[in-house]
């Protein structure tokens, strides 16, 4: 049993995924939450399974933002090459919407413009909240203590960009930080 597919029934796992769209990780792994930190964009990375046009993002707020944040945005970035020397460039975002993380539950937000997701390419989806009040929390896969640096290895699973007052439209793999990455946020990119 040297073949990974012989050890794990990959087809049955993928059959549990949503019929439409692309998830940032298998939704069966979403068993935790991650609280955003003001000024740190929390990101989840994945390799696209199929090519499709994406227009919106679904996410789950588990704890709403306290008071009214200054800035709330979502962003999708794509790697230019499949290596740790990659530069990630923005392919989609949503305009500032301070209601993005209010209340709790499953939310869907349209991007400012659609983009073409390419099968096999590495993408990242990020959530940013700038606030002086309590930051919101999103559904996530748990992060084991001390595992955050491993999650940054190529291809990255999750990471963050710190010190932001708004989205950074281009950054390198080396710019990603593990600090405050307690959990991998769950996103679904939808047609």
Could you report the per-residue pLDDT of 134-171, keeping only the tens digit for each? 999 999 887 655 556 677 788 888 888 999 999 999 99
Alpha carbon separation from 167 to 40, 90, 127, 160, 164 (Å, rounded):
10, 9, 9, 12, 7
- Specify the pTM: 0.87
The residues facing 141 across adjacent strands are: 184
Residue 144: the pLDDT is: 59
The two beta strands, 184-185 and 41-47, are: unpaired
Count of C-beta atoms within a 10 Å radius of residue 90: 17
- For residue 55, being part of any structural domain is answered with yes
Tens-level pLDDT at each residue, the chain (191 residues): 444 444 444 444 445 555 667 888 777 677 788 899 999 999 999 999 899 999 999 999 999 998 899 999 999 999 999 999 999 999 999 999 999 999 999 999 999 999 999 999 999 999 999 999 999 999 988 765 555 667 778 888 888 899 999 999 999 999 988 755 568 899 999 99
Q: What CA–CA distance (Å, rounded) separates 115 from 127?
A: 18
Number of domains in the chain: 1
CATH number at residue 81: 2.60.120
Could you report the per-residue pLDDT of 75-85, keeping only the tens digit for each? 999 999 999 99
Half-sphere exposure of 125 (CA within 13 A, CB side): 26
| DSSP letter, residue 2 | -
Residue 184: the pLDDT is: 84
**Which is it for the CA torsion 91, 95, 101, 105, positive or negative?**
negative
Q: Which domain holds residue 176?
A: 21-190
The two beta strands, 41-47 and 32-35, are: unpaired
The residues facing 123 across adjacent strands are: 46, 78
Alpha carbon separation from 46 to 23, 33, 136, 157, 168 (Å, rounded):
8, 18, 23, 7, 19
- For residue 11, being part of any structural domain is answered with no
Residue 9: the pLDDT is: 46
């Amino acid at each position: 049993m040297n073949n990974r597919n012989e050890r794990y029934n990959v087809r049955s796992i993928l059959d549990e995924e949503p019929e439409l769209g692309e998830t940032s990780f298998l939704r069966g792994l979403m068993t935790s939450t991650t609280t955003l930190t003001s000024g740190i964009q929390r990101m989840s990375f994945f390799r696209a399974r199929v090519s499709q046009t994406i227009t919106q993002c679904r996410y789950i707020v588990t704890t709403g933002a306290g008071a009214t944040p200054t800035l709330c945005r979502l962003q999708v970035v794509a790697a230019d090459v499949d290596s740790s020397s990659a530069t990630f460039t923005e392919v989609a975002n949503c305009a500032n919407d301070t209601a993005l993380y209010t209340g709790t539950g499953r939310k869907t937000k349209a991007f400012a413009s659609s983009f073409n997701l390419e099968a096999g390419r590495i993408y990242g989806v990020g959530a940013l909240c700038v606030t002086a009040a309590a930051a919101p929390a999103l559904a996530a896969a748990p992060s084991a203590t001390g595992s955050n640096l491993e999650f940054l290895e190529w291809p990255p699973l999750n990471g963050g960009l710190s010190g932001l007052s708004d989205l950074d439209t281009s950054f390198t793999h080396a710019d990603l930080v593990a600090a405050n990455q307690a959990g991998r946020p769950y996103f679904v990119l939808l047609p």
